[in-house]
Amino acid sequence: MSERVFMKGCEAIAEAATRAGCRFFAGYPITPQNEIPEYFARRMPEVGGTFVQAESEVASVNMLYGAASTGIRAMSSSSSTGISLYSEGISYSASARLPIVYVNVQRGGPGIGAIQPSQQDYMQATKASGNGGFRMIVLAPSTVQECVDMVYESFDLAERDHNPVLILTDGVVGTMMEPVVLPPMKSDEEIQKLRDAFKYRAIIGHPLGEAAYCRPGSVGSGQEQVNIEADKLYKTWDKDVRVEEYLTEDAEIIIAAYGISARICRAVIKQLRAQGYKIGMIRPIRVSPFPYEAFSNIDFDRVKGILNVEMSIPAQMRWDVDYAVQGRCPIRECLRSGGQLLTNEQVMKAAQEMIKEVL
């Protein structure tokens, strides 16, 4: 059933979502993710789904909230400043425990920033995507294939937890073309079965006495109970940590990077290994829950330093790395931001400086 095709990141995201059974998409134009809504505009009518071009991000996130409340698989994408406008809606979906998939194809920031790629929404994505202290599982693909695989599984994660899920990618991965293997298309029967499982709480109308209510808030002690239940869920996410440890067994220097930055670092690590330097990488595949253990379990007798590489100034993921490392080795930074791309040369230079400093 799987097929291998050559696709752009954004279009692969949209096709993978369609194959996962997504039948509702609402969005608003913003670069660099326009290929996602454009793809859905063509694709949804073919499979009996709905595409709505909303009048704003504020409207599209709330259309999603309504659609997901009926039990349909619903997704939307935006970019950085557009995701800021989604914040209220994301918070509502977390409070109402609706399984929605959001995609952030990051661009430069803060503010309108730049239309070119960045990784400047890490804190917003992993710590506070809206008010109230809720959390989401956040998947961070570094290839088009990972975009496909992560989008496909994100709907299952969202429905397993009755909680929104965020795909955190960027304008590089979103706009580059690569060969990918697409997952099988879920049949109409499978999709209906998934939807029926949600029927008891779907906002579609019920016989008297069985009414369903979708509430993002509550009165009295009700809201605290919602928060306690959510916290219980978040505490089960140790099993959901996904991390790649690349050539770390004998490494004396470890690069910390995710998404597109990790991909650039991989190329540099290969070059440095060829020169005899023992360098490796810890790559969070999901940035929430963060793989703290991968960093705290480092053998600091062997590892002399960590190079934190991100397309964000100031650094953001570094706070999580710091939290796990607890000052047991020096941490240096190699950063770009504002839509400026990280280059192999820049990472190479930073790595060589670290080699000089600690080895």
Interaction of residue 214 with another protein, rule CB under 8 A: yes
We find the least distance from the C-beta atom of residue 303 to another protein, in angstroms, to be: 47
CA distance 307 to 101: 32
Minimum CB distance to another protein, residue 211 (Å)? 5
Residue 304 binds another protein, judged by CB under 8 A: no
Cβ(105)–Cβ(144) below 8 Å? no
Nearer of residues 212 and 358 to another protein, judged by Cβ: 212
d(CA 84, CA 66): 19
Rounded to a whole number of angstroms, the minimum distance from the CB of residue 64 to another protein is 6
**Of the candidates 88, 156, 252, 322, which one interacts with another protein according to CB under 8 A?**
88
Compute the distance between CA of residue 9 and CA of residue 14 in angstroms, rounded to an integer: 9
Closer to another protein at the Cβ: 205 or 276? 205
Q: Which of 68, 166, 257, 354 binds another protein (CB under 8 A)?
A: 68
Exactly one of 10, 36, 67, 83 binds another protein (CB under 8 A); which one? 67
Q: Which is it for strands 137-139 and 286-288: parallel, antiparallel or unpaired?
A: antiparallel
The mark string for 92-121 relative to another protein (x by CB under 8 A, - otherwise) is x---x-------------------------
* Distance, CA of 32 to CA of 38 (rounded, Å): 12
Site string for another protein, 9-28 (x = CB under 8 A): --------------xx-x--
C-alpha span between 103 and 16 (Å, rounded): 13
Output 217 or 314, the one with its CB closest to another protein.
217
Shortest Å distance, C-beta 58 to another protein: 7
φ/ψ of 270, rounded to 5, equals -60, -45
Read off the DSSP letter of residue 242.
Answer: -
CA dihedral 233, 237, 240, 244 (to 10 degrees): 150
**Alpha-carbon distance 122 to 120, whole Å?**
6
Token readout for 87 is 């914040």
Amino acid at 173: V
Q: Which stretch binds another protein (CB under 8 A): 146-154, 168-176, 202-210, 231-239?
A: 202-210
HSE-up of residue 209 (Cα within 13 Å, Cβ side): 0
From the CB of 138, what's the least distance to another protein, in Å?
22
Residues that bind another protein (CB under 8 A): 23-24, 26, 50, 52, 54-56, 58-60, 62-70, 72, 74, 88-89, 92, 96, 202-209, 211-217
